[in-house]
Amino acid sequence: MIQPVLQRPNQALPNTVTDSQLQEALSSMILSASGWRKVFAPSGDHGEETLPSPQDRLLALAMGQVWGNLLHSHKNLSSPITVLVATDTRPTGPELAHMLIRGLLATGCQVHMAGVASAPEAMAHSAMDANIDAFAYISASHNPLGHNGVKFGIGGGVIPGTQAAPLIAIYRQLIHEEGVAQRLMKVASSIDENTLDAIYAQSPLVKAEALAHYRKFLQEIAGGPGDEQAQQNTREALAQALQSNPITVLADLNGSARCTSSDWDYLKDLGVDFQPFNTTPGQVVHAILPEGESLEPCRLALEEAHAKNPSALIGYVPDNDGDRGNLVIWDESIQGARILEAQEVFALSSLAELSCAVWADKEHSPKMALAVNGPTSLRVREIAKAFGAEVHEAEVGEANVVNRAAELRNKGYRVRLLGEGSNGGTITHPAEVRDPLNTLTALIKLLRLPAQANKPSPFEDWCQKSGQDCPKEAPKDCGTLVATLPPYSTTPASAKRALMQIHSPSHGSLKACWEEVFQEQWALHSSSLAKAYGFSCWREVNNEGTTSRVGVGPEQRSGAMTGGLKVIFSTKEGQDVGFLWMRGSGTEPVFRVMAEIKGTQTEAEQLLIEWHRTMVAEADRRACGGSGNAIVMASPVR
């Protein structure tokens, strides 16, 4: 396994940047709790240059400076503060990290440089190393190669919106101060070069420690709930089952940070045969976003591998920082490999963690819960209900679901799994970030953990509790697992019909107008919706941060009103059977919409999402003053 250490850049420091150039560079940056991002490659989205513009390099230095200053003001941290810095494999990563480190050092922080590391690896190291207080992770996640940015965190998770908002405000204020460019250039040149040399010299040791901590962290999560002995028993039971009924996992690592991570060692320890390809860090051979065509090489490789070895059942493809990994599976019912939808991945993870937690427990806790984002499929609620668990919602964004889960734990709930069904992002406690290895492990446990003397296997338990025929032997493939999920038809978050452009600068005005349009449309179509889909009534839910409010009107929203709005449709018996959802993206200039309906009803989902889109478009027109002709409303039924 290659473990690249970032070489110290030796480019001349910026010395001719003006305030206006710096402020213009900032204007194209997206700043949110999910991360700070922009195109740093001079040639654009897919650029492969290693050196950002001088003004962009100063932006990175200022990021380190404001982060270091904020950490020094944190009431729970004492000086000296140590910050972990790591990057994914984007070409601009080393230079941005170098400038950010200069900014941190200028505030008196100490720095540990891990070089190239996956995001879950860096965050696990930050959580487990008592000498590390916080991290700054250089990445633009799933965005194209020329993009880059930073995620800031304390311990093992990204800072919540309550801390991100003041940091963003401080950063904007700094960049707009008079004479800021000259001051930042002086800061950059004031840093002791020997200190920088020492940081880079220690980088191999920091990387080795990060890998060791991450591997231990993964093993703890794989063991499930309980003490160390209970976790060891679970891992041993799984390893024994895999000896007699093996599983081979493929991975298209696509030159990502996972090429340098613990995937090999961890999966070998688990008893899994691991066959990765495209394993050279930085050699990105296809689009970074692990959806659609980007999953085709892995799907084809899985079909080829399965033809030679029937144990080849799962493949995964990560994004560049390695926290997101979508799956391909062998599906016996079609005699081929197929790409799992994001909602299917999250539903399987939820099922696996709930059933395996019950399997591992000697004394089963009655208070189990899942924390999910607003557009997560309703099928997860059906799965949770089978195990006596609750589902609690938060706004879109990892930090929101992580903090919602923490709130629930403070109330006595066990929240083993949390995440975002809309993108398949699975976070398994005690992790605070998505990780494809934890998703893989959950599926493998669901496939292979055996029955015990007093308990059925996790999969048998699920079948019994959901009223389905119980298998006589372990399922042969993941397709068998998917077939047992409650059927729903959901708009994929990556589909073109899930994205819109709006003109209204006020999301609050847009939502108020949408509520008006929707109620007009409900009055017009309620009888046909009840007849066609069983939609007899509805309720509105607004999700902001970790708060979920039921009700209609601006009083259900706050601040800039940029959270998620959802209308849930129910039958006359009170069963939830569909929803419409919308929210403006915090990291991309798009407005996201989604529709879902219970059952295998692809045509109905397409009708509902088109109806929803026309209502959003009309609401946008009204929010902008009503100029132009009214939008022709699509019909929600055929």
- Give CA–CA dist 543/631, Å, rounded: 27
Beta pairing, strands 35-39 & 147-154: antiparallel
Q: In sequence order, which residues have a C-beta less than 8 Å from that of residue 241 and are 6 or more positions away?
A: 448, 449, 450, 474
Residue 205 to residue 199: CA distance in whole angstroms: 10
How confident is residue 3, by pLDDT bands cut at 50, 70 and 90? Answer: very low
**β-bridge partners, 248:** 273, 312
Return d(Cα 574, Cα 559) in angstroms, integer: 32
**Nearest Cα to 441, choosing from 247, 305, 226?**
247
Q: Identify which of 153, 155, 107 has the alpha carbon closest to the alpha carbon of residue 131.
A: 155
pLDDT digits (tens, 9 = 90+) for 75-121: 888 789 999 999 999 999 999 999 999 999 999 999 999 999 999 99
CA 160 – CA 407 distance, rounded (Å): 13
Segments in 253-397 forming alpha helices (H): 263-270, 296-308, 342-360, 379-386
Question: How far, in Å, CA of 318 to CA of 40, rounded?
Answer: 22
Q: Are strands 273-277 and 248-252 parallel, antiparallel or unpaired?
A: parallel
The amino acid sitting at 573 is E
Distance CA 401, CA 623 (A): 30
Contact call for residues 120 and 11 (beta carbons, < 8 A): no
Q: List pLDDT tens digits, range 147-201.
A: 999 999 999 989 988 889 999 999 999 999 999 999 999 999 999 999 999 999 9
395-423 pLDDT, tens digit each: 998 889 999 999 999 999 999 999 999 98
**pLDDT of 189:** 97
SS3 328: strand
Phi, psi dihedral angles at 34 (to 5 degrees): -80, -15
Residue 635 DSSP code: P
Q: How much is the pLDDT for 216?
A: 96
Q: How far apart are CA 100 and CA 64, in angstroms?
A: 4
Q: Compute the mean pLDDT over every residue in the chain, rounded to the nearest whole number.
A: 94
Give 589-623 pLDDT, tens digit per residue: 689 999 999 999 999 999 999 999 999 999 999 99
| pLDDT score recorded for residue 56 | 98
429-454 mean pLDDT? 93
189 phi, psi to nearest 5 deg: -85, -10
pLDDT in tens, 292-316: 899 999 999 999 999 999 999 999 9
Specify whether the CB–CB gap between 44 and 145 falls below 8 A: no
Q: Which domains does the chain have, with CATH numbers?
A: 19-210 (3.40.120.10), 245-340 (3.40.120.10), 341-486 (3.40.120.10), 496-623 (3.30.310)
SS3 of residue 462 by DSSP:
helix
* The pLDDT of residue 454 is above 90: no
CB atoms inside a 10 Å sphere around CB 375: 28
Query: Alpha carbon 560 to chain centroid distance?
Result: 23
List helix spans (H) across 91-160: 93-106, 119-128
User: Cα–Cα–Cα angle for 433, 436, 440, nearest 5°?
Assistant: 130
**Radius of gyration of the chain from its Cα atoms, rounded to whole angstroms:** 25
Q: 3-class SS at 425?
A: strand
What does the angle CA 58 – CA 60 – CA 65 come to, to the nearest 5 degrees? 90
451, two tokens: 């029955």
Per-residue confidence at 291, pLDDT binned at 50, 70, 90? confident
Measure the CA–CA gap between 241 and 361, rounded to whole angstroms. Answer: 19
**pTM of the prediction?**
0.92
* pLDDT of amino acid 170: 97
Alpha helix segments (H runs only) across 377-477: 379-386, 398-410, 436-448, 458-465
Provide the token pair at 147: 């993009």
Report the C-alpha gap between 396 and 499 in whole angstroms.
15
Stretch 541-566: mean pLDDT, rounded? 95
117 and 139 Cβ atoms separated by less than 8 Å = no
First to last CA, the chain: 56
> What 3-state class would DSSP assign to 82?
strand
For 602, other C-beta atoms within 10 Å of its C-beta total: 10
User: Counting Cβ atoms within 10 Å, is residue 53 exposed (0-12), middle (13-18) or buried (19+)?
Assistant: middle
Cis before 430 (ω within 30): yes
At residue 236, φ and ψ (nearest 5 deg) are -65, -40
What is the C-alpha separation between 561 and 545, in angstroms, rounded?
11
Question: What three-state secondary structure class fits 44?
Answer: coil
Distance CA 404, CA 81 (A): 27
On the question of pLDDT at 4 being above 50, the answer is yes
Crossing angle of the two packed helices 93-106 and 54-72, in degrees rounded to 10: 40
pLDDT for 587 equals 60
Q: What is the pLDDT of residue 24?
A: 98
pLDDT > 60? residue 1: no
Place of tokens 């397409």: 606
The answer to whether 339 touches 345, Cβ cutoff 8 Å, is no
Distance CA 44, CA 147 (A): 8
Comparison of pLDDT for 427 and 397, the residue scoring more? 427
For the stretch 61-76, pLDDT in tens is 999 999 999 999 988 8
